[in-house]
Each structure stands twice: as structure tokens, then as C-alpha cells.
Amino acid sequence: MKALRWHNQKDLRLENIEEPKALNGKVKLKVEWCGICGSDLHEYTAGPIFIPTETHPLSGDKAPIVMGHEFSGQVVEVGEGVTTVQVGDRVTVEPIYACGECEACKQGKYNLCDKMGFYGLAGGGGGFSEYAAVPVEMIHKLPETVSFEQGALVEPSAVALHAVRQSKLKVGDKAAVFGTGPIGLLVIEALKASGASEIYAVELSEIRQQKAAELGAIVIDPKKYDAVEEIYKRTNGGVDVAYEVTGVPPVLKQAINATKIDGETMVVSIFEKEAPIHPHDIVMKERSLTGIIGYRDVFPAVISLMAQGYFPADKLVTKRIKLDDVIEEGFEGLLREKDQVKILVKAE
């Protein structure tokens, strides 16, 4: 079958590899759609970051690995011992590997596992392929009202919903989202579902500004305004919670300073470089700074919200391509076309 494999930085290859089997405890899927994540792009341009160059303790795999962790598909085969899923089920994948034994896992915080990895980044297979064999515990069924395209958005939407759930945000609070790429736009949707009264979106890209406005956010263009001053003015002292979703060091300071007294900044993005901040920006206003990685226990809630119309693919997906074009039109396309939001890849 065709599959996209990461060999090294700037070295992705679309190769013919052996089709996987549904071994004990696994489910074989015909992949329908797979999204290109910011993490995938980071691995392409600056990796390895999450991709193991030595054998991963949970996946038992190492580079070269099949990429893709935001995907949906249909069950075509079930392995021995699998009783919760059957052939024909429409599903999405929660791609976290966790050991189940470390302190984080014992506390139920499996996304903080000492050995944590992602299917499609840490090995084992991936969604940029025609078929994938996935541990059954990663499988979540999709209702008929949620399309396969929506199914490929469940994973990134889970990041957004987890970020909002872990923050201090309460119904009626005001929020700011710094950066409205795919995750930032999904954070806006999660904030809407959580009852935020005002959502400010700080974004440079005009197309992403339009997407944020379509989702109901109040757009602030940092080319035209000092974002912190503008948010202060419009909110009479700052937002309750700011979400940093750019990974750009200077933006973290802006996000902190856009919050009110006792406000919170939630770091959602992955930073490639250190981000210097002045502790006085936190101390003098008794603000808090926290962060999340991935998600836990939110896939069912995301799927339910999707069935109600949240996280709409038609407003978030800007490009749909075939697996044959994933390198040039997908990864290279995202580097060329800075206004792209979410690219979905069709496995054929």
C-alpha cells in the first residue's frame, strides 16, 4: 500500500509498504481522511522532535515511520480479543500511547505519561496511508451525523477543548486567542461551546482573520493596532483568559499582558525556541501561566459537539488533496501558502 514515511528532516517519502494486519487487540481501518498537523510540519522542517530515532518503548518502532495522527476511517478487520468494534464501523482515532504504569497514568492523566507518544509520530503506523492497524483502545465510533471529514478534525478539536477545559474560563468570561491557525480557530469554537461572552482573535493573516470572524470572533489585526492596548480598551482592563496558539516567543508576552488582574494565560502551542518573559508581568497582577499537551478524556465530548454543529469542517478546511500529492501540495504547500488553515488528505 502507499504510505508517507518520515526518514529525516526535509526527507519525506511516499513509499509502497506492506499492508498492516489486525493483530491481537488491534483494528484495521481503511483510512478516509487525514489532516496535516502543525506538529507534522515541525517534524518536516525541524525534526526529529516527537519522532523516535531509537526504538520507542511503547510503539516498539523508530524512524523511518509512517506519519499522520489526525484521521478517520472505516473498520475493515478486527483482531483477536476485539469486542467493542466491528467491521463497517465509522471511527476516529485518539492516537496517544500511554504506559498505564507511571504516576501520571495512575492519576488518569495519560497525556502526561512518562513514555507518551503519538501513533503517527512515535511509530506503529499512521494516517497518511491507505490502511492503518490501530490499538482498539484508541478507537472512537462516529455517529452517522458526523462525516469522515469531521472525524479527521476530532483530534485537533480535542486539543482545543482540553485547553479550554483546563483553563479558568467560566460561562460569560471574555477570552483572547493569539494566533488563528487550525488550533486557534478550534479554540474559538471550544470557547463558544463553553459560553465565552466575547472572544478576541489576534491574527496577521487576512484569510485567517476572515475565518476567525466567520466563527464569531472579534478580530484584532496587530498590523493596525497594539493588540494588548486594543484588548485592554475594548474589555476595560483585559480578558479573563488568553490562549497562546502561535509558538512565536514575543507573542507569549503579549498574551500575558492582555489578561486582567488575576487573569490566566494558557499556552497551547509547541515552541521551537525559548520565550523570554518578565516575571513582573505575572507577579504584579497576580496572573497565572499554565499549559497543556494533547488531551485526555475529551474525544466523546468533541464528537457530541460536532453532532450539534460545532467545529465545522466547511469553515475550517481550506484544501483537500490526494495522498499522491501530500508532499508537494500538502507539506510544501503549507510552507508556501501561509494563509492555509487545515489541509485534509484523502487516502486512495
In this structure, the answer to whether residues 38 and 127 fall within a common structural domain is yes
- Per-residue pLDDT reduced to its tens digit, 203-219: 999 999 999 999 999 99
Q: Do residues 239 and 200 make contact, with C-beta atoms less than 8 angstroms apart?
A: yes
- Split into its structural domains, the chain has a count of 2
User: Could you list the residue range(s) of the whole structural domain that residue 190 is in?
Assistant: 158-291
- Kindly report the pTM of this predicted structure: 0.95
In this structure, the answer to whether residues 225 and 323 fall within a common structural domain is no
Q: How many CB atoms lie within 10 A of CB 230?
A: 18
In this structure, the answer to whether residues 87 and 183 fall within a common structural domain is no
CA dihedral 258, 259, 260, 262 (to 10 degrees): -150
In this structure, the answer to whether residues 110 and 228 fall within a common structural domain is no
CATH number of the domain that residue 86 is part of = 3.90.180.10
Environment class of 274 (CB within 10 Å of its CB; exposed 0-12, middle 13-18, buried 19+): exposed
* φ, ψ (nearest 5 deg) of residue 135: -55, 135
- Is 264 among the domain residues? yes
Concatenated DSSP letters of 32-88: EEEEPPHHHHHHHHH--SSS-SS--TTT---SSEE---EEEEEEEEE-TT--S--TT
- Per-residue pLDDT reduced to its tens digit, 160-182: 999 999 999 999 999 999 999 99
Q: What is the mean predicted confidence (pLDDT) over 105-110?
A: 98
The Cα–Cα gap between 212 and 206 comes to 10
Give the list of residues 6+ apart from residue 340 with CB closer than 8 angstroms, or none: 318, 319, 333, 334
232-241 burial by CB neighbour count: b if 16+ within 10 A, else e?
bebbeebbbb
Percent of all residues in the chain with a pLDDT value above 70, rounded to a whole number: 100
In this structure, the answer to whether residues 136 and 6 fall within a common structural domain is yes
CATH number of the domain that residue 258 is part of = 3.40.50.720
* φ, ψ (nearest 5 deg) of residue 243: -115, 120
Whether 104 has a pLDDT exceeding 80, the answer reads yes
Q: How far apart are the first and last CA of the chain?
A: 10
In this structure, the answer to whether residues 212 and 165 fall within a common structural domain is yes
In this structure, the answer to whether residues 210 and 243 fall within a common structural domain is yes
- Helix segments in 102-226, DSSP class H: 103-106, 148-166, 182-193, 206-214
Whether 339 has a pLDDT exceeding 80, the answer reads no
In this structure, the answer to whether residues 15 and 132 fall within a common structural domain is yes
Residue 111 DSSP code = G
In Å, what is the CA distance from 54 to each residue of 46, 62, 122, 336, 344? 17, 6, 10, 32, 30
Residue 341: which pLDDT band, with cuts at 50, 70 and 90?
confident
Q: Do residues 165 and 187 make contact, with C-beta atoms less than 8 angstroms apart?
A: no
Q: Which set of grid coordinates corresponds to residue 39?
A: 506538529
